Amino acid sequence: MRNIKLIFIREFTAYFATPLAYVFIVIFLMLSGLLTFFMGGFLERDQADLVPFFEFHPWLYLFLVPALSMRLWAEERKLGTIELFLTLPISMTEAVAGKFLAAWGFSITALFLTFPFWLTVNYLGNPDNGVVLASYIGSALMVGAYLAIGSMISALTKNQVIAFVITTATCFVLTLAGSPIILDFFSAWASADIVQAVGNFGFLPHFQSIQRGVIDFRDVIFFGSIIVIALTANAIIIDWRKAS
Amino acid sequence: MDPAISIKGLTKQFGPRTVVDNVTFSANIGEVLGFLGPNGAGKSTTMKMIVGFLSPSSGTAEVCGFDVLKNPIAVKGSVGYLPEGAPAYPDMTPLSFLRFISGIRGFNGSEREDRVHNAVRITRIEEVAEQPIETLSKGYKRRVGLAQALLHDPKVLILDEPTDGLDPNQKQVVRDLIIEMASTKCIVISTHILEEVDAVCSRAMIIASGKVVADGSPSELKSQSGSGDLEEVFRKVTLNA
């Protein structure tokens, strides 16, 4: 635990040592605002909820999260610091978890900074704050799943741009897995069971169900297991191709 | 007492290529062992296996009595390692970098700070301690890497090309440091600069194509050639390998 905490602190402060953190947070907040007010019609809807705000989160994360996760391991490889990092007296689990938790903690910080939306909606009306809280938790879980996948892909390469592109593509497929675009592709040749299995992997239905205000255990397990599986693969990949 | 480093039949294959081929040796506290050899001879790969970064294809490496495969964390805890090129996080300052290392090495509270300041003092990086590492000269970066390696006062120091790319003054600083620590530690350095062997090593091993082709004190090695010239011995044993 102590080592995870130390790695977490080092990684978390590293975001703020460069403009990365500030650029990320500013862009995230600006885009959230634009999408909520203009595309989501937050005011025109005349309803006291944050649905138009959360609705766009999967799409925002789709290209912002890979920008965050691409550096996790690719940069260590590029700089050669991976050799230093992995010859410190820490376990692989601590290394992978510390880095992931720092990225997750940073994303949750950015998410937390959207609280003015919550203040606004409470000022304008009487929203169901339980639903808002559930949506925030759902959004945090979803961003964790995106990050874990990004971290795993970042472990495969020392080129951050490649990590970015592959992560975006993978997350795009996972986000839309339950939608007709992806399902039609599978239903053309795969059996109904497979199509349904693919559909179950979609991030959107799980996020939407939490957004309704019910934190269903199955949705939490879904995002939780995506995180655990991706990070386990991440550790195996690092162990397997440390040198290259 | 166990030797500080004990290597038996260490072999590393990358696909069909054998990079390190059945290397066996041991080294004790008080020895400064120089790995000599042409570029690509397998010096770095051998070191990476001793510190537990790469796992050997076969053979064993023990450091301070700990097997690197069975107990990698204990090995990593008792070794100080300077990887080739002295990598460090460029956006950190030497102080914050060393604080991180000190914490991970298990030091707490005031001891954590004391260790950092001691390492800064020994390697003489006080002047740059608060500048981002990316702005430092090569010589200072190398010394930050050394500070990181010896912060926990390890029994075994593995230094991969500690003086490569430094100017003569900087080289001298690093060599003095090694000589200073020599009596209380087992130090392994790799180099392809032959003068380094005379300057700091008590024993030299010449490695070529992954095999140990010569092993002895610098004067023993020199006596293998008629002229007593280390360079001649080096060429003789590495060209035939």
**Cross-chain Cβ contact A10/B100 below 8 Å:** yes
Residue B104 has its nearest CB partner, among A79, A88, A243, at A88
| Residue that wins the pLDDT comparison between A241 and B56 | B56
**Which residues of chain B lie closer than 8 angstroms to A6, CB-CB?**
100, 103-104
Contact with chain A for residue B100, Cβ under 8 A: yes
- Chain A residues within an 8 Å CB radius of B77: 89
Per the CB < 8 A criterion, the answer to whether B208 and B237 are in contact is yes
Mean pLDDT of all residues in chain A? 89
Number of helical (H) and strand (E) elements in chain B, helices listed first = 9, 10
**ipTM score:** 0.92
Query: Domain spans of chain B?
Result: 5-84+155-240
Quick one: closest CA in A to B14, which residue?
A: A243
Residues of A in contact with B116 (CB under 8 A): none
Select from A79, A88, A90 the Cβ nearest to the Cβ of B87: A79
Range of lowest pLDDT (A5-14, A229-238, B210-219): B210-219
Q: Which whole number is the average pLDDT over A19-47?
A: 86
Give how far A76 is from chain B: nearest CA, Å. 9
By C-alpha distance, the chain B residue nearest A18 is: B91
CATH topology of domain B5-84+155-240: Rossmann fold (3.40.50)
A110: domain range?
2-240
pLDDT the model gives residue A44:
76
* Tokens linked to A64: 């912002």
Residue of B nearest to A91 (CA): B73
| Interface membership of B87 toward A (CB under 8 Å) | yes
pLDDT score at B164? 84
Report chain B residues whose CB lies below 8 A from the CB of A98.
none
Has residue B2 got a pLDDT over 90? no
Give, in order, the Cα–Cα distances in Å from A163 to each of A18, A75, A151, A167, B107. Answer: 20, 10, 9, 6, 35
A207, two tokens: 């996020």
Q: State pLDDT tens for residues A213-237.
A: 888 888 999 999 999 999 999 999 9
Q: Does the distance separating the beta carbons of B73 and A89 come in below 8 Å?
A: yes
Runs of H (alpha helix) within A155-179: 160-176
Beta carbons of B54 and A17 less than 8 Å apart:
no
- Residue B235: its pLDDT value, please? 80
CA distance A148 to chain B (A): 22
Q: Which of B60-69, B136-145, B189-198, B220-229 has the lowest mean pLDDT?
A: B220-229
Q: Is the pLDDT of residue A35 over 90?
A: no
Tell me the mean pLDDT in the region B93-119. 95
pLDDT digits (tens, 9 = 90+) for A110-161: 999 999 989 988 898 888 888 899 999 999 999 999 999 999 999 999 899 9
- Residue B27: its pLDDT value, please? 94
B89 touches chain A (CB under 8 A): yes
Q: If pLDDT is split at 50, 70 and 90, which confidence band does A178 have?
A: confident
Instruction: Give the per-residue pLDDT at A214.
Output: 82
Contact at 8 Å (CB) between B146 and B81? no
Task: Note the pLDDT tens digit of each residue in A191-206.
Answer: 888 877 777 778 888 8
- Would you state the pLDDT for residue A195? 79
Confirm or reject contact between B105 and chain A (CB < 8 A): yes
Residue A53 scores a pLDDT above 90: no
Provide mean pLDDT across the span A70-83: 94
CA distance to partner chain A, nearest, from residue B131 (Å): 12
Q: Which residue has better confidence, A148 or A177?
A: A148
CB contact under 8 A, B91 and A14: yes
Q: Count contacts between A and B (CB, < 8 Å).
A: 64
Residue with tokens 């690509």: B40
d(CA B17, CA A239): 20
Q: Any residues with CB less than 8 A from the CB of A190 and at least 6 apart, and which? A: A198
User: Closest residue of B to A9, CA-based?
Assistant: B100
Set of chain A residues whose Cβ sits within 8 Å of the Cβ of B89: 10, 14, 79, 81
Decide if A243 and B101 are in contact by the 8 Å CB cutoff.
no
Whole-angstrom distance, CA of residue B161 vs CA of residue B39: 11
Assess whether pLDDT exceeds 90 at residue B81: yes
In the structure, what pLDDT confidence band is assigned to residue B241 with cuts at 50, 70 and 90? low
Distance CA A110, CA B25 (A): 54
What is the DSSP-derived secondary structure letter of residue A5? H
Do residues B161 and B191 lie in contact, with contact meaning Cβ atoms separated by under 8 Å? yes
pLDDT of residue B95: 96
pLDDT-wise least confident of B121-125, B166-170, B225-229: B225-229
B77 to chain A, any CB pair closer than 8 A? The answer is: yes
Backbone angles phi, psi at A214, to 5 degrees: -110, 115
Does residue A24 have a pLDDT over 90?
Answer: yes
Tell me what pLDDT residue B233 has: 80
Please, which residues bridge with residue B12 across strands? B20
State whether residue B81 sits within 8 Å of chain A by CB.
Answer: yes
pLDDT for residue B135 is more than 90: yes
Give the nearest partner residue to B91 out of A17, A84, A90, using CB atoms: A17
Which residue out of B66, B81, B100, B148 would a mutagenesis test of the A interface target, given it has the greatest number of A Cβ atoms within 10 Å? B100
Find chain A residues with C-beta within 8 A of B90's C-beta: 79
pLDDT, average across residues B169-193: 90
| Average pLDDT of the segment spanning B97-120 | 95
> For B141-168, how does the pLDDT look when each residue is reduced to its tens digit (9 = 90+)?
999 999 999 999 999 999 999 988 788 8
Binary contact (A87, B83; C-beta < 8 A): yes
- The four Cα atoms A107, A108, A110, A112 give a dihedral, to 10 degrees, of 170
Asked if residue B229 has pLDDT above 80, the reply is no
- H-assigned helices in chain A: 2-17, 20-34, 51-55, 57-69, 71-79, 81-85, 92-112, 115-124, 129-154, 160-176, 180-187, 192-200, 203-211, 217-240
Within 139-168 of B, beta carbons closer than 8 Å to A belong to: 148
B91 touches chain A (CB under 8 A): yes
Best probe of the A interface among B51, B89, B97, B134, by most A CBs < 10 A, is B89
Q: Is the pLDDT of residue A244 over 60?
A: no
Number of structural domains (chain A) is 1
